[in-house]
Chain A
Amino acid sequence: MKYDVIVIGAGNAGLTAAATLAKKGVKTLLIEKHNIPGGCATSFCRGRFEFEVSLHQLSGMGTPERPGPLRSILDSVGVLDTLEFVQMDKLYRVVVPGLIDITLPADKEGIVTALQAKFPEEKDAIKKFFDFVWQFFMEVIGAFYLNDPDINQKKYPLYYKYALKDTQSVLNEYFTNPMLKAVITPYWTYMGLPPSKLCFSDMAALLFSYAEFKPYHIKGGSQMLSNSLLEKFYSNGGEALFNTEVQKLLVKNNSVYGVKTSDGTEFQSKYVLSNASAISTFVDMLDDDKVSGQVIEPYKGSSIGTSFFTIYCGLDCEYDKVGINEETNFICNTANPEYDYELSKVVDTDQSSFIVTCYNVFDNAMVPEGTSQVVLVTMKYADAWLKVPPAQYYDEKCRCAEAMLNNAERVFPGLVSHIEEMEIATPITHMRYLNHPGGGAYGFDQYVKDSTLFISPKPPINGLYCAGSWYGSAGYQPTLTSGHSAAMAIVKDIRNK
């Protein structure tokens, strides 16, 4: 069977790519190992509850009047009108029990006012910092989003100075109180690296984008997005194979010409777009050790990124009964993100900071009446979990969940006594369902040295394209965008031939 393009993996990037290609009239086959589309963007049922697996706050949407970049992409793929997006008016609530409890609204002035009220001694610095972040990001928009043909240091001084800086050193330029720095930056967990390791551009993008374009929830959860993309793909003539695993890339003379699936079937195509992990694609799917070595070379210094320990809870009461009022809550043990990051390398959770998300603050259709769903998640690298003997695995899951729930009780008393359904996911769970080494939900660690600034997402094999968190930024907006971009690059290449 011959196709123009074969897309491996129906994650965010694979689905967007497939939907984009089909819309452009490109004959495309999508192959997915699992039986449902979405990858991380999915949901599952337990008892009378349906749990959202991974979407916290969708970025880059903006309003119809003032669309963000993601809205435009979803529109161009044709799924925007098929989905209902719910805007959140808060960024998050941060609690360090006994020390601070603050909620930031999703707009710049509101953030500044809320912070100034809690940290009056750094009132001016707060204003200056947020003005600076906005100025910095306006430079990014001017130079890159608006495609300035003449980018130079004079025009974009902040960008040239701060683009590659780490977040912590910029915070230190402005603030002295570590608590203030901590409550400005809890979104570092959305990137997987603490402020000292996280590129300032990334933190600025998070703050700017969420405040300007607002965080969103997709009504019905992320599976709605995944299915909408697949449906669009089908309606434009795309073909998909589920429960089918690609085992090998077919490569000859440094050009890809198709794939072989695990049942031995060969599918031929001029292009292959992989949404599988970089390690699956470049190592497991490439037989020739030499070719494999060349393609993986740029990633030699990259380290496998974080995974998560997650507790999905279905409560037999409304969320406010246990004191939950916000959708996104960062419950921190200390005001020290660097220490929190170190804790992501051990199995134990008794000191871990974590996020408590309650989707039905914005979407009551998610749960039966009178109930609510609450998800607790903390960053965990897989390394320590990989060493847990299988015979102790289930007990460890339970022990770690109990420790985290005990800490949650300090902020949300009564939570545990209302849990009707519970499911626990570890880095091993993510590894199992995503087929990602280390359960890396964000791909490789998101260091700037490993970003697309320094490693091209296009591997040096003709016809092979890659998209998803392993080949650039992680998260919904970035992966959806990367799938779209890779598909457009293929469309362009086809037209040029």
Chain B
Amino acid sequence: MNSEILKQLDGYDNVINEREVLKRYGYDYRLDRGFVRKYLERLHPRYITTKIIDIIEETPSTKTLRLDSVEKYLPPFQAGQYISVNVDIDGIRTSRPYSISSSPDETAYYDITIRRVEGGFVSHYLLDSTKIGNTLQISSPAGNFIHNPIIHSNELVFIAGGSGITPFKSMIQHAVNTGISRDIWLIYGNKNSEELLFHDYFTIVAKKYPTIRYVQVLEEGGASYNGYITAKIIKEVVGDSSSKTFFVCGPQGLYKHILNELQTLQLKPRQIRMEMYGVPTDVFKQSGWPEDVTPDSKFKITIKNKKEFTVAAGEPLLNSMEKNGVIVPSLCRSGECSLCRVKLISGKVYQPEGVKLRQADRRFGYIHSCAAFPITDCEIML
């Protein structure tokens, strides 16, 4: 606006006076240089450099790594959340998410409990090649597999398969340590008793607190329930389920099976919380996977303005990019958190069920590279 007009507006002089005074007594924002970042470091640091302060052998295939921050500060987390561990293995930079298995009230460390994955990459490295005193770079805690007292019941059914027990260890330990009122039924499915994680801990707390029930279901037999976790077993263990909230965590195979079983209990969707757990390893067997794409199929991936490489079918795009030195941020590696989102300019990818794409992502060709399997040659933009 023309300043001559401005000067004639009623009240102009008052505004100018106020501005003059504030010029003398106002705030010098230079004092806040760097404040936002420094503040956020306490709650949501971009990464944390940790040191392995202890390694606990849990079962023949599983160890717990106890991590403390090199800076001696770990941000708070909610029981059930995970961290992503960044590793550099033989020149390949990648990451893996692990639920924190310790309780949030044990503030001196984060525990992550790692089971050896057959044909795995990072689990072998973490189990075989790390020692007490080594440093590990991790993300700050993330994830939505948490109990929300406003909308979830205090009567909780925890259904775990194999290493999917880790978030429940945190939740149960948190309830025990802090005395919050929870009625818990833990149903733990595993191959055999040898592979049960935290078995002694759960046995002790279940004995001590009548509000915690601990039931094992073993594939190879030898427990009070054997085979797979079924609706029948759940019904027998928990009784009426109408007022309870179900939390489910375990390998991919467990979900389809459990969802079918839970369906017979006629639960509402709001009663079921599922933790994401990677992407299907047997992607060739998934519904919707194109028949003509076999494990021998090879595709050319072009990263716009950056790189070209060939990939074999059946590997998530994110993994292929990492193997070829193309690094994008990643966190959940299960198609949920959206950190690894890239734009698919041309070509086709297979996206398993449950990938959380937004309407705008679908329309404009954005994909989560951790949960996108190329099924043709593809051009990608970062």
Whose C-beta in chain B lies nearest to the C-beta of A43? B358
Q: Is the CB of B29 within 8 A of A164?
A: no
The one of B10, B28, B42, B356 that contacts A45, using a Cβ cutoff of 8 Å: B356
CA–CA, A416 and B153, complex, Å: 12
The one of A365, A366, A393 that contacts B43, using a Cβ cutoff of 8 Å: A393
User: Knowing A36-B341, A160-B10 touch, does A401 contact B22 (C-beta < 8 A)?
Assistant: no
Q: Is the CB of B10 within 8 A of A220?
A: no
Number of residues of chain A lying within 8 A (CB) of chain B = 74
Contacts of B18 in A (CB 8 A): 301, 449
Q: Is the CB of A301 within 8 A of B23?
A: yes
Q: Does B363 contact A (CB under 8 A)?
A: yes
Q: Does A112 contact B (CB under 8 A)?
A: no
Q: Is the CB of B11 within 8 A of A422?
A: no
User: Knowing A35-B338, A300-B27 touch, does A405 contact B150 (C-beta < 8 A)?
Assistant: yes
CA–CA, A391 and B78, complex, Å: 10
User: Knowing A153-B8, A160-B9, A283-B32 touch, does A449 contact B19 (C-beta < 8 A)?
Assistant: yes
Contacts of A50 in B (CB 8 A): 358-359
Taken residue by residue from 352 to 366, chain A's Cβ proximity to chain B (1 for < 8 Å, 0 otherwise) reads as: 000000000000011
Q: Using CB atoms and an 8 Å cutoff, list the residues of chain A in contact with chain B.
A: 35-36, 43-48, 50, 144, 151, 153, 159-165, 220-221, 223-224, 226-227, 230-231, 242-243, 278-280, 282-284, 289, 292-293, 296-297, 299-303, 316, 365-366, 386, 390-391, 393-394, 398, 401-402, 405, 416, 418-423, 428, 431-432, 435-437, 448-449, 453-454
Taken residue by residue from 1 to 34, chain B's Cβ proximity to chain A (1 for < 8 Å, 0 otherwise) reads as: 1100110111110110011011100111110111
User: Can you offer 28 A-B residue contacts whose CB atoms are under 8 A?
Assistant: A36-B338, A36-B341, A43-B358, A45-B358, A48-B269, A144-B1, A153-B8, A162-B10, A164-B10, A164-B12, A164-B14, A223-B360, A224-B363, A242-B382, A243-B329, A292-B30, A296-B29, A300-B22, A301-B23, A301-B27, A365-B359, A366-B359, A391-B76, A402-B150, A420-B268, A420-B269, A428-B43, A453-B6
CA–CA, A29 and B114, complex, Å: 43
A447, chain B: closest CB distance, angstroms:
9
A93, chain B: closest CB distance, angstroms:
24
Q: Does B120 contact A (CB under 8 A)?
A: no
CA–CA, A227 and B358, complex, Å: 11
Candidate in B18, B19, B36, B329 with the most chain A CB atoms within 10 angstroms: B36
Number of residues of chain B lying within 8 A (CB) of chain A = 58
CA–CA, A81 and B193, complex, Å: 62
CA–CA, A297 and B26, complex, Å: 9
User: Knowing A160-B9, A220-B363, A390-B76 touch, does A282 contact B150 (C-beta < 8 A)?
Assistant: no
Q: Is the CB of B360 within 8 A of A43?
A: yes
Contacts of B148 in A (CB 8 A): 398, 422
Q: Is the CB of B36 within 8 A of A437?
A: yes
User: Knowing A221-B360, A300-B28 touch, does A422 contact B151 (C-beta < 8 A)?
Assistant: yes
Q: Is the interface of A mostly helix, strand, loop or mixed?
A: helix
User: Knowing A223-B359, A297-B23 touch, does A386 contact B28 (C-beta < 8 A)?
Assistant: no
Contacts of B269 in A (CB 8 A): 47-48, 316, 420
User: Knowing A316-B270, A402-B150, A405-B150 touch, does A284 contact B34 (C-beta < 8 A)?
Assistant: yes
Contacts of B211 in A (CB 8 A): none
Given A161-B10, A221-B358, A453-B1, 10 new contacts (CB under 8 A): A35-B328, A160-B9, A164-B9, A220-B360, A282-B29, A283-B29, A283-B30, A300-B22, A419-B150, A437-B32
Taken residue by residue from 147 to 169, chain B's Cβ proximity to chain A (1 for < 8 Å, 0 otherwise) reads as: 01111000000000000000000
Taken residue by residue from 34 to 70, chain B's Cβ proximity to chain A (1 for < 8 Å, 0 otherwise) reads as: 1110011011100000000000000000000000000
Q: Is the CB of A165 within 8 A of B11?
A: yes
Q: Is the CB of B358 within 8 A of A431?
A: no
B17, chain A: closest CB distance, angstroms:
10
Q: Is the CB of B36 within 8 A of A435?
A: yes
Whose C-beta in chain A lies nearest to the C-beta of B345? A234
Q: Does B297 contact A (CB under 8 A)?
A: no
